[in-house]
Structure 1
Amino acid sequence: MSLYLCVDCGGSKTSAVICDAFGDIIGRASGGPSNIAYLTIASFIETIQMTVGDALKTCTSPASVDTVGLPPPAGLEFAAAWFGISGADSPSIIEAIMNPLSSLLGVPRGPRLSVANDAHLLAAPIRMHADVSYAVTVIGGTGSIVVSFKEKEDGELQELGRVGGWGWILGDEGGGYSIGKESVRQILAEQDQHSVMESPPPEGALRASLRKYFNIKDVMELLTEVYVLDPTPSTVIDTNQGSPRYMSREKRLSSLSPLVFIAAFEDKDPLALKVLHICAKDLADQICIVVGDVKEGFPRLVKASESVICFGGSVVGLEVYREMVLNELAARGHVFKHVEFVDDCAAVGAAGLRLKYKE
């Protein structure tokens, strides 16, 4: 049978979906992180091998209880595969993983093995709207990236502009990491302002939440908790367990974003709301780089009123935060014709791949 594979490779997890020639999803699995910028090629391929092998288990007859080995056995060959990989931002990185992926999957290099940044998968909704030929994709999870596309006459997507995707040290504005970082910055800034005042800072929900999370009494201890060295690999733990000190510094800050949303929208904390407005504005700033009227010297801009904006990722998955971003854009005159949130890029990608290459 003809199988169509799509793999969404992110900084938090890997999602693999397999559909058959009828467009039905017959295999699905999740694996660990697969941001190629943070992994060796060997580690990346190992994650793909395990995740795709798990997805293939339900494609066997009868269904297997063991991970299926790759390349796939006879009868389970892939007709085409599409990879959207976080961190795959340069031709050299993509070239470095093409041959290993081709060998692993048994799919020859060429049009049936597509490898690109994960933002490309988000552009699939452009095919749902006959009245637009342009898409702006916005990933806002732990990190962030914005990419604009044009759908060509042959159905291929042409990348026009790209902003961000620089990782937590250099960028990721508007994503979960930046929300966590900004929450600490705002609390410390408030503390600084009150150092010359008669009264102490107000003990709002966000301030109390972070003190409890880090198990500290004085908010100035946040500096120590944030800057403590990364743990050794043997002591790194899941972000939902134990002390934040045993997380990597990146996870230590990105794990704060749920606390910020709770403080903002459940407790109505003004400081938490300020943090989210700052980060939504930062993400809107990124989007504004790729949108606007085409003019001399800027031929690759896209007009919002003629485009669909496609959001994906855990942070922009929250409608209240998406609305903040869209309101920022509207205030600058950029109102998109269609707005979509894609919560399952791998499934949308697999279905689109099947339509493109169905026999």
Structure 2
Amino acid sequence: MKGCVLGIDGGGTKTVCILMDKSGLVIGRGEAGPSNYQTVGLEAAGNSIRDAIAQAAAPLGEVSLEAICVGLAGVGRSQDVQAVRGLVQQLLSSSELPVKPSLQPPSVEINHQELSADNLLHSQLSILHSSRVIVCNDSAIALVGGVGKPVGVVIIAGTGAIAFGQNHQGQTKRASGWGYLLGDEGSGYHIAIRGLRAVVRSYDGRLGPTILTERITQHLNLNSIEDLVEVIYRRGWGVKQIAALSPIVDEAAAAGDLIANNIINEAVEELVLAARVVSQALFKPEEAFEVVTMGGVWRGLANLRGRFATSLAEIVPSATVIWARHEPAYGAALLALQALSPG
């Protein structure tokens, strides 16, 4: 059987699995449904992880698994890590998967400093040494995949938003990521809900005119702004549906709308603030590092990303803003591979 490692990226929309050989070559990839166990439950999360692994390994026949890293949204506390670790062990013991855990014990000790297991146990990462199972939050694997190593800062802005970083000493810092009710400033939801609120305030006369009114009316095919009540409440719109309207705000800002511009500027300020807090907590002023942007907001709102890069450069000049080099699941596979190597 061919020896390999697995990297899992699980979120609220889908689960991605990367199968990598010990030379670092990707030999399989699979996708399945959501695996944020906080929202879909442990059983459904397990089913998605199993299906993604099976799809990735299907063309290869039976392979020997030597390490696995599972990065899931919703994993932040020690009890989350334990729950997911138990789930992973159960999946790996199943006869249904073509991936079989190596029966031999680890031949090397995991490098604690490089993987920062001790520091990340209580924040983002935890390692079960005996079977080389790594369980972490999805922001940790996004950093490794985006930058290509576990050093730097990742700013994820999609439906939600979070900033996470790690330095050469293994220290970590997180900001934002508290969910749409408590935070996630700068996220797609935050931008879109501000846009919708501006439209209804303008309709009432509590705010000046904005072209957002016309753009939202056309996009949702409304007869009147009052029809928003039907769309948002009675049709049961959730966070994702609302967040999908954020590009409309960005387009209105680019067209010169003052109110939309203010919303985008506020989002930029919040994302820069999160990046600054994380960066200054981990890196010295003269220490160069990379800040990787990941998530749909960065891809869909070009106006916002340009402002972010310019603003961050003014207050953290040692930071270089980059696009992701690899997807988060690739970062998870790298962490699993790293667990096999000393030093």
TM-score higher than 0.5: yes
The one of 127, 133, 136 aligned to 1:113 = 133
The one of 142, 167, 178 aligned to 2:159 = 142
The one of 272, 283, 299 aligned to 1:302 = 283
The one of 328, 331, 342 aligned to 1:345 = 328
Residue 209 of structure 1 is matched in structure 2 by 215
Shift of 1:82: 1.0
The one of 176, 190, 199 aligned to 2:202 = 190
Kindly report structure 1 stretches of 4+ aligned residues shifted beyond 6 Å.
Answer: none
Describe the shift of the 1:9–1:338 C-alpha distance in structure 2 as closer, same or farther (beyond 3 A). Answer: same
Answer yes or no: is 1:272 the counterpart of 2:253: no
> Partner amino acid for 1:334?
V
Write the distance in 2 (CA, Å) between the matches of 1:303 and 1:207.
45
Write the distance in 1 (CA, Å) between the matches of 2:178 and 2:319.
28
| 2:8–2:18 contact (8 Å) kept in structure 1 | yes
The one of 246, 254, 259 aligned to 2:248 = 259
Shift of 1:326: 2.6
> Partner amino acid for 1:47?
S
Residue 74 of structure 2 is matched in structure 1 by 87
Answer yes or no: is 1:289 the counterpart of 2:270: no
Residue 9 of structure 2 is matched in structure 1 by 8
| 2:68–2:134 contact (8 Å) kept in structure 1 | yes
SS in 2 for 1:5: strand
Describe the shift of the 1:27–1:125 C-alpha distance in structure 2 as closer, same or farther (beyond 3 A). Answer: closer
Deviations 1:193-213 (A, max 9, x none): 467xxxx835x2x32231133
Write the distance in 1 (CA, Å) between the matches of 2:317 and 2:48.
39
Deviations 1:215-249 (A, max 9, x none): 32222443453233xxxxxxxxxxxxxxxx3x642
Write the distance in 1 (CA, Å) between the matches of 2:50 and 2:285.
39
| 1:94–1:116 contact (8 Å) kept in structure 2 | yes
Shift of 1:288: 2.8
Describe the shift of the 1:160–1:263 C-alpha distance in structure 2 as closer, same or farther (beyond 3 A). Answer: same
Write the distance in 2 (CA, Å) between the matches of 1:322 and 1:208.
25
Describe the shift of the 1:168–1:15 C-alpha distance in structure 2 as closer, same or farther (beyond 3 A). Answer: same
| 1:3–1:20 contact (8 Å) kept in structure 2 | yes
> Partner amino acid for 1:20?
D
Describe the shift of the 1:312–1:192 C-alpha distance in structure 2 as closer, same or farther (beyond 3 A). Answer: same
Answer yes or no: is 1:167 the counterpart of 2:168: no
Shift of 1:126: 9.0
| 2:146–2:327 contact (8 Å) kept in structure 1 | no
Query: What stretches of structure 2 of length at least 5 have no aligned partner?
Result: 94-100, 103-126
| 1:186–1:275 contact (8 Å) kept in structure 2 | no
Describe the shift of the 1:126–1:254 C-alpha distance in structure 2 as closer, same or farther (beyond 3 A). Answer: closer
SS in 2 for 1:309: strand
SS in 2 for 1:289: helix
> Partner amino acid for 2:187?
G
Write the distance in 2 (CA, Å) between the matches of 1:123 and 1:136.
6
Deviations 1:64-111 (A, max 9, x none): xxxxxxxxxxx4121111111111111111111111112212559723
Write the distance in 1 (CA, Å) between the matches of 2:37 and 2:171.
20
> Partner amino acid for 1:341?
W
Quick one: higher RCO (CA 8 Å, sep 6+), 1 or 2?
A: 2
Query: What stretches of structure 1 of length at least 5 have no aligned partner?
Result: 61-74, 153-157, 229-244, 293-299
- TM-score, normalised to structure 1's length? 0.75
| 1:12–1:32 contact (8 Å) kept in structure 2 | yes
- TM-score, normalised to structure 2's length? 0.78
Residue 307 of structure 2 is matched in structure 1 by 324
